Amino acid sequence: MSKQIKDLMSRVIAAGKERGLSQAQLAANAGITAVGLSKAKARGDLLVSTLEKLAAQSDLELALLPRRTREKDAEAIKSGVFFD
């Protein structure tokens, strides 16, 4: 049960709602059932391919980014390149 995956699913669902999609519509458009999405949310686990389909229906894409440490963030802020 991953908190990160639960957070990702919540963000995807919220983005879907912003596009006017209910959770059931989002699930159906991604090729899964509303019950399946609800269960995935509850356990915090689903296939990456399913997350990718849900994201696409919410007009999002998946990307992996390197972690930024607090030290690196502080240096970037001090040097003025944090948002570059």
Q: What is the pLDDT of residue 69?
A: 76
User: What are the tens digits of pLDDT across the range 66-75?
Assistant: 776 778 878 8
The number of beta carbons lying within 10 Å of the beta carbon of residue 30 is 21
Q: Is residue 68 part of a domain?
A: no
What percent of the chain clears pLDDT 90, i.e. is strictly above it?
58
User: What are the tens digits of pLDDT across the range 29-60?
Assistant: 999 999 999 999 888 899 999 999 999 999 99
- Residue 41 CA to residue 9 CA, distance in Å, equals 7
Q: What is the pLDDT of residue 3?
A: 83
- The single residue listed with the structure tokens 């269960």 is 39
Q: How many domains does the chain have?
A: 1
State the CATH number of the domain containing residue 21. Answer: 1.10.260
Q: Is residue 11 part of a domain?
A: yes
What integer best gives the mean pLDDT of the chain? 89
Task: Please count the CA atoms within 13 angstroms of the CA of 40 that sit on its side-chain side.
Answer: 23
Q: By residue range, what is the domain housing residue 39?
A: 3-57
